[in-house]
């Protein structure tokens, strides 16, 4: 009897020794049915020995212990299983609730579980748990060893059938809810998953150094760095807006330009140590991180420690001294401004709009090497694989904001006005461009048709109008006003709105284009960083600018009915109506307004190199002067407080002038 007992003990000890002790992430749940019979699909991501025992429970984690009100089932490996094996486990003690429940995978005692993986059909909570909810154990991490769904579904499965990569790569993919299909209908046929493991290349020894930026503009910049030594197989550059990238590339995952990594997009992959980035906008800070890597495909290995990092802010404007000869307070202002924006001017072919605007500015990088363009009227997002193509290959066409039928010149593709990039935008041809047709722009009150955020219908006066999305209204207004200003009188043709509304549009059986609406849109939707950058890009190829983007306040000096000059109220030093102003020289002037937006008190900061006297003017975007003040500035920073509570909601411009130098800054009152 003693010998039999001894033999049994030896066998039992052998079974215990054969078990594989698992760690976090060695097992991952890849499918479940909470609709009876309860079923769990899981994969082992390491080799496990025959006899290995793994526990599955729907008891919730309180923060310190597993609850004891639900069930636990034990799965025992019937053989040795190589990593990547998919298992089906029909549980009996667990009774998974269709009202929400969780699955924890662990080894050891329930009183001190060694957690391996966790899945919840509802979000992890931080307070008191119930039979349908749970906290997330600190040993597990959402996105790698844990998964929770924002919307509860009774059944679900990981939907990527073929999987190859490192263990970390596979866990990252499995634990991403975007890679799952969930349903309230029981799953009767799960995918035939395959999991394989590619070995990683050796990690690079060093990172690149000496990050620098060149040619920083509002719409483009160069990013350069010094190669790592010894040389890796390549580099991956991540770019985020306003902050540094917050996540590292994952080993075993091959990325393409435009792919998302945390809060960043991939800006460069390969051996180059310099990249020219064009998809930027004005006045925006960009954060960069650059990593060395070795290997390719599923063997790629990124050096994730101490990547090369840095930030740069794009330019505020590219106008420089373009308007140095323009003075809005003289009677020749309009003719002077027209001369300036007419010459120099380089006609860029309408047919080349895809090679210019769509290739170098009006796009964003997207995943999988694709790019994205927007319909400026409706807001439609269109993803494409470069090169960009127009309809019928894509749904997009080039929209003339000033309709070709409106042109007094009967413009053709060979004329300047037909090709002028300042009023050309990408739009959906059938659902936006064709719907807008020859109609004026306006505010729709009675909708006839709509596509996304673009609407066609009747305005408050019963006129047929097309209304673009809010984000484009100011842009469209400034494009129309620019065209009138730029081309009026050229070749003897009349581009005023009087001629448009009294002659051209009636001949087309169209209602008038409301200037008041355009001025209102100009005020409500002031030039954005995107529009400023677009103006600069067009300047770089067409050699002229839209002055209403650069100087929105100049709109108050122009009567667009007939393009005559409106003398602005003079700004005087001591009283609104007397005296003259002779300022002291100031070599440099920088303005800041805060808070922005504001609703009560506001502050203007004026920083100058030398003491000086200055005129300060505050103008609404409709041209109304709401504040005039003479300032005696000290050298350095000067701060002036004003009462913003007296201002109506909208956009304003602060203009400060001294010794012929004028600076302005925009702000919003809520």
DSSP 22-61: P-TTSEEEEEEE-SSSPEEEEEESS-B-TT-EEEEE-PPB
| pLDDT tens digits along 469-527 | 999 999 999 999 999 999 999 999 999 999 999 999 999 999 999 999 999 999 888 99
Comparing C-alpha atoms, which of 475, 478, 486 is closest to residue 563? 486
Give the integer Cα–Cα distance in Å for 187 and 602.
61
Mean pLDDT of 641-656: 82
pLDDT of residue 23: 94
DSSP single-letter state for residue 649:
S
pLDDT of residue 576: 27
Model confidence at 189: pLDDT above 80: yes
For residues 330 and 248, is the Cβ–Cβ distance under 8 A?
Answer: no
pLDDT of residue 623: 61
pLDDT of residue 583: 33
Question: Which residues are 588's β-sheet partners?
Answer: none
With a threshold of 0.85, does the pTM exceed it?
Answer: no
Mean pLDDT of 349-362: 96
For residues 180 and 159, is the Cβ–Cβ distance under 8 A?
Answer: yes
The more confident residue out of 668 and 383 is: 383
Tokens describing residue 549: 């983007």
Mean pLDDT of 396-404: 97
Give the integer Cα–Cα distance in Å for 395 and 52.
58
Model confidence at 655: pLDDT above 90: no
Count the neighbouring beta carbons within 10 Å of the beta carbon of residue 336. Answer: 15
Beta strand segments in 24-154, E: 27-33, 39-44, 53-57, 72-76, 86-90, 102-107, 114-120, 146-148
Count the neighbouring beta carbons within 10 Å of the beta carbon of residue 645. Answer: 11
3 state SS of 502: helix
- With cut-offs at 50, 70 and 90, classify the pLDDT of residue 586: very low
DSSP 173-229: HHT-GGGEEEESSPPSS----EEE-PPPPPPPS---EEEEEES--SS-EEEEEEPPS
3 state SS of 424: strand
To the nearest 10°, the Cα dihedral for 112, 114, 116, 117?
20
Model confidence at 243: pLDDT above 90: yes
The more confident residue out of 572 and 193 is: 193
For residues 204 and 232, is the Cβ–Cβ distance under 8 A?
Answer: yes
Mean pLDDT of 335-360: 97
pLDDT of residue 303: 96
Comparing C-alpha atoms, which of 604, 533, 570 is closest to residue 327? 570
pLDDT of residue 573: 32
Model confidence at 601: pLDDT above 90: no
pLDDT above 90 covers a percentage of the chain that reads 74
The alpha carbon of 270 is separated from its chain's Cα centroid by a whole number of angstroms, namely 24
Count the neighbouring beta carbons within 10 Å of the beta carbon of residue 413. Answer: 10
Model confidence at 2: pLDDT above 60: no
Token pair 């996105």: residue: 143
Lowest mean pLDDT among 278-292, 376-390, 586-600: 586-600
pLDDT of residue 453: 96
Burial, 311: exposed, middle or buried (Cβ in 10 Å; 0-12, 13-18, 19+)? middle
Model confidence at 4: pLDDT above 70: no
Mean pLDDT of 241-247: 94
- With cut-offs at 50, 70 and 90, classify the pLDDT of residue 587: low
DSSP 540-553: HHHS---HHHH-GG
Model confidence at 590: pLDDT above 90: no
| pLDDT tens digits along 135-173 | 999 999 999 999 999 999 999 999 999 888 778 889 999
Mean pLDDT of 582-590: 50
For residues 606 and 656, is the Cβ–Cβ distance under 8 A?
Answer: yes
pLDDT of residue 348: 97
pLDDT of residue 578: 26
The more confident residue out of 622 and 288 is: 288
Lowest mean pLDDT among 213-217, 298-302, 470-474, 572-576: 572-576
Give the integer Cα–Cα distance in Å for 96 and 91.
9
pLDDT of residue 12: 40
Question: Which residues are 424's β-sheet partners?
Answer: 400
- With cut-offs at 50, 70 and 90, classify the pLDDT of residue 240: very high
Question: Which residues are 364's β-sheet partners?
Answer: 372
- With cut-offs at 50, 70 and 90, classify the pLDDT of residue 660: low
For residues 63 and 140, is the Cβ–Cβ distance under 8 A?
Answer: no
Model confidence at 212: pLDDT above 80: yes
Model confidence at 562: pLDDT above 80: yes
Comparing C-alpha atoms, which of 119, 48, 56, 118 is closest to residue 89? 56
Beta strand segments in 539-624, E: 558-559, 564-565, 589-594, 601-608, 612-620
Phi, psi (rounded to 5 degrees) for 30: -120, 0
The more confident residue out of 573 and 648 is: 648
Model confidence at 585: pLDDT above 70: no
Lowest mean pLDDT among 5-19, 44-58, 344-358: 5-19
Mean pLDDT of 548-567: 92
The whole-chain average pLDDT of the chain stands at: 90
pLDDT of residue 621: 64
- What pairing do the DSSP bridges indicate for beta strands 650-658 and 661-669? antiparallel
Model confidence at 260: pLDDT above 70: yes
């Amino acid at each position: 009897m003693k010998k039999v007992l001894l033999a049994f003990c030896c066998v039992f000890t052998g079974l215990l020794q054969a078990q594989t002790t698992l760690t976090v992430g060695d097992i991952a749940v890849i499918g479940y049915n909470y609709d009876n019979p309860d079923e769990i699909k899981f994969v082992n991501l390491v080799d496990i020995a025959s006899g290995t025992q793994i526990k599955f429970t729907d008891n919730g984690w309180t923060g310190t212990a597993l609850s004891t009100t639900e069930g636990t089932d034990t799965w025992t490996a019937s053989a040795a299983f190589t990593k990547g094996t998919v298992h089906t486990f029909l549980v009996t003690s667990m009774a998974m609730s269709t009202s929400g429940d969780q699955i924890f995978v662990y080894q050891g005692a329930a009183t001190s579980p060694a957690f391996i993986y966790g899945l919840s059909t509802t979000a992890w909570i931080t307070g008191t748990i119930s039979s349908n909810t749970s906290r997330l154990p600190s040993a597990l991490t959402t996105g790698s060893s844990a998964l929770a769904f924002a919307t509860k579904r009774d059944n679900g499965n990981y939907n990527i059938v073929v999987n190859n990569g490192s263990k970390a790569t596979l866990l990252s993919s499995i634990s991403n809810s975007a890679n799952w299909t969930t349903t309230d209908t029981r799953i009767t046929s799960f995918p035939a998953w395959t999991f394989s493991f590619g070995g990683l290349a050796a990690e690079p020894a060093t990172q690149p150094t000496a990050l620098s930026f060149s040619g920083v503009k509002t719409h483009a910049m160069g990013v350069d760095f010094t190669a790592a030594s010894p040389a890796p197989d390549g580099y991956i550059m991540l770019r985020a807006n306003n902050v540094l990238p917050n996540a590292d590339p994952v080993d075993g995952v091959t990325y393409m330009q435009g792919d998302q990594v945390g809060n960043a997009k991939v800006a460069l992959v390969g051996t180059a140590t310099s990249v020219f980035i064009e998809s930027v906008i004005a006045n925006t800070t960009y954060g960069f991180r650059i990593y060395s890597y070795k290997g390719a495909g599923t063997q790629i290995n990124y050096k994730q420690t101490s990547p090369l990092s840095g930030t740069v802010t794009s330019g505020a404007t590219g106008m420089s001294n373009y308007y140095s000869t323009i003075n809005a307070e003289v009677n020749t202002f309009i003719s002077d401004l027209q001369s300036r924006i007419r010459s120099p001017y380089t006609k860029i072919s309408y047919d080349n709009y895809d090679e210019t605007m769509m290739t170098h500015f009006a796009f964003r990088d997207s995943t999988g090497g694709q790019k994205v363009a927007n319909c400026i009227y409706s807001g439609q997002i269109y993803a494409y694989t470069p090169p960009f193509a127009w309809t019928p290959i894509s749904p997009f066409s080039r929209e003339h904001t000033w309709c070709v039928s409106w042109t007094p010149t009967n413009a053709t593709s060979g004329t300047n006005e037909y090709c002028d990039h300042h009023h050309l935008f990408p739009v959906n041809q059938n659902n936006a461009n064709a719907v807008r047709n020859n109609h004026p722009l306006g505010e729709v009150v009675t909708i006839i048709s709509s596509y996304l955020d673009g609407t066609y219908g009747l305005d408050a006066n019963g006129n047929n109008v097309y209304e673009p999305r809010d984000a484009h209204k100011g842009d469209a207004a400034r494009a129309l006003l620019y065209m009138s200003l730029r081309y009026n009188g050229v070749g003897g043709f009349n581009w005023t709105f009087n001629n448009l509304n009294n002659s051209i549009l009636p001949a087309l059986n169209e209602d008038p284009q409301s200037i008041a609406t355009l001025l209102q849109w100009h005020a409500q939707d002031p030039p954005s960083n995107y529009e400023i950058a677009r103006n600069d890009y067009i300047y770089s190829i067409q050699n002229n600018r839209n002055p209403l983007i650069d100087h929105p306040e100049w709109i108050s000096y122009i009567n667009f009915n007939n393009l005559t000059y409106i003398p602005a109220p003079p700004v005087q030093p001591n009283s609104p109506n007397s005296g003259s102003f002779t300022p002291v020289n100031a070599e440099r002037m920088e303005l800041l307004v805060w808070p922005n937006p504001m609703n009560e008190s506001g502050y203007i900061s004026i920083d100058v190199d030398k003491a000086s006297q200055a005129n300060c003017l505050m103008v609404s975007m409709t041209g109304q002067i709401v504040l005039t003040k003479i300032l005696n500035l000290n050298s350095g920073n000067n701060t002036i407080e004003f009462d913003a509570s007296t201002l109506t909601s909208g956009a304003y411009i602060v203009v400060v002038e001294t010794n012929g130098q004028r600076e302005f800054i925009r702000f919003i009152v809520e």
